[in-house]
Amino acid sequence: MANIAMVEAVSLALSHELEHDKDVVILGEDVGINGGVFRATSGLAQKFGENRVIDTPLAEAMIAGMTVGLATQGMKPVAEAQFLGFIFPMFEQIVCHAARMRNRTRGRLTCPLVIRAPFGGGIHAPEHHSESIESMFAHTPGIRVVIPSSPSRAYGLLLAAIRDPDPVLFLEPKRIYRLVKEEVVNDGEELPLDMCFELREGNDITLVTWGSMVKETLEAADALAKQDISAEVIDVATVSPIDHDTIAESVKKTGRCVIIQEAPKHCSVGSEIAATLAENSLYSLMAPVKRVAGYDVIMPLFKLEKKYMPTVGRILKAVNEVMEVS
């Protein structure tokens, strides 16, 4: 079994489901013969044919609306939004229909769909290609928002998302699409949604993160180990609904927490985690919870994007501030 990158793991999961479930179809712009602009659907049209991997006209609202229509009739469509920055025409269909169909009809019609979208900064892309807007969707009742952060988690979580009977927005942090390779066994084993993953055990502080920031957070944890600070690292993975119990359990042990996200700070997933800790875990905390986030600014074009994104240095600074409180 070869080592593969995260984007290849996405492709592997799609291929597995196309092969094992005849109701699964893929649709989107350039997903066919071109295999997607990031090659996430590479080779799938050639393998499964153009009735399973469908190039659509260039119209995002239509792609989302047709995905809803396909799902209500018992298919399991996996649509691709080419970049998360282009998802806004889809927003109405996701919020007003995909998220509501089951509730609207008391379960008569359901929406077992997945919309995948590459997102996040750090790859020197043009405007609208780099934003992290997961909290806009996390705020919407009726949909799950899932963000993988490694090849094996991308594989297992995408399988779970496709098999889930409800709509899932699957956001792929494209900066780490090809960052690391690991062995992924194509055994069709899914990973659980709605659950955090503990990536590193520690006793002194809990670092909570997801998506591409997992990379910087793990590096920060390595650096902290050299300072004799033992950091527990949690990958939230499903940012809606959030597995608050696992985070609370960790904070109970460590008494300190820093939340790291690439998204702007205001009204974000990190805000929700911090607020929940304030509500339920105040007496476990020995220091205020801190958030290391993107600034509340328009995502800068690439000359400044590195200044926008949280760095290992910023994480260490926040951790040291939290550790100083006794």
Partner 1 sequence: MTTVASFSVEYIQYLSPNGTLTGETIPPIAKDFETIKSLYKTMVMTRVFDAKAISLQRTGKLGTYASSLGHEAVHVGIGSAMKYEDVFAPAYREYGVQFIRGVKMSEVLLYWGGDERGSNFSGPPHDFAWCVPIATQNTHAAGAALSFKLRKQPRCTVSVIGDGGSSKGDFLEAINAASAFKLPMVFVIINNGWAISVPREKQSSGETLAQKGIAGGLPSLQVDGNDLLAVHHEVKKALERARNGEGATVIEAITYRLGDHTTADDASRYRPDEEVENAKRFEPVLRLRQYLMDNNQWSVQQENKLMEDCAIKVEAAVKEYQSASKLPVSDMFDYMFAELPHDLQEQRAFALALEEENS
Nearest distance, CB of residue 109 and partner 1, angstroms: 7
Nearest distance, CB of residue 179 and partner 1, angstroms: 30
Q: Which of 139, 178, 244, 314 binds partner 1 (CB under 8 A)?
A: 244
Does residue 68 belong to the site contacting partner 1 (CB under 8 A)?
yes
Tokens of 168: 């899932």
Does residue 70 belong to the site contacting partner 1 (CB under 8 A)?
yes
Give CA torsion, residues 223, 177, 240, 259, to 10 deg.
Answer: 20
Stretch that binds partner 1, among 89-97, 124-132, 179-187, 251-259 (CB under 8 A): 89-97
Q: How many helices (H) and strands (E) does the chain have?
A: 12, 14
Does residue 72 belong to the site contacting partner 1 (CB under 8 A)?
yes
Nearest distance, CB of residue 94 and partner 1, angstroms: 11
Stretch that binds partner 1, among 164-172, 209-217, 259-267, 284-292 (CB under 8 A): 164-172
Stretch that binds partner 1, among 38-46, 59-67, 224-232, 315-323 (CB under 8 A): 59-67
- Rounded Cα distance between 37 and 17, Å, is 21
Nearest distance, CB of residue 62 and partner 1, angstroms: 4
Report the amino acid identity of residue 208.
V
Which C-beta is closer to partner 1: that of 282 or that of 297? 282
Identify the active-site residue in 129, 139, 244, 266. Answer: 129
Residues whose CB is less than 8 angstroms from the CB of residue 68 and which lie 6 or more positions away in sequence, other chains included = 93, 97, 98, 101, 111, 113
Does residue 62 belong to the site contacting partner 1 (CB under 8 A)?
yes
- Rounded Cα distance between 68 and 284, Å, is 44
Which C-beta is closer to partner 1: that of 267 or that of 286? 267
In whole angstroms, how large is the CA radius of gyration of the chain?
Answer: 19
Does residue 139 belong to the site contacting partner 1 (CB under 8 A)?
no
79 strand-pairing partners: 27, 115
Give, as one character, the DSSP assignment of residue 107.
Answer: T
Tokens of 92: 């109405």
Does residue 223 belong to the site contacting partner 1 (CB under 8 A)?
no
Nearest distance, CB of residue 22 and partner 1, angstroms: 9
Per-residue CA distances from 164 to 19, 43, 132, 168, 189 (Å):
17, 25, 24, 8, 14
Per-residue CA distances from 178 to 18, 42, 87, 174 (Å):
23, 14, 23, 8
Q: Which of 35, 142, 255, 270 binds partner 1 (CB under 8 A)?
A: 142
- Rounded Cα distance between 84 and 288, Å, is 33
174's enclosing H/E stretch is none
Q: Which of 14, 44, 45, 71 binds partner 1 (CB under 8 A)?
A: 71
Does residue 326 belong to the site contacting partner 1 (CB under 8 A)?
no
Q: Which of 15, 41, 82, 93 binds partner 1 (CB under 8 A)?
A: 93
16 in catalytic set: no
Give the footprint of partner 1 on this chain (CB under 8 A).
25, 51, 56-57, 59, 61-62, 64-75, 77, 89, 92-93, 96-97, 102-110, 141-142, 164-166, 194, 241-245
Q: Which residues are catalytic?
A: 129
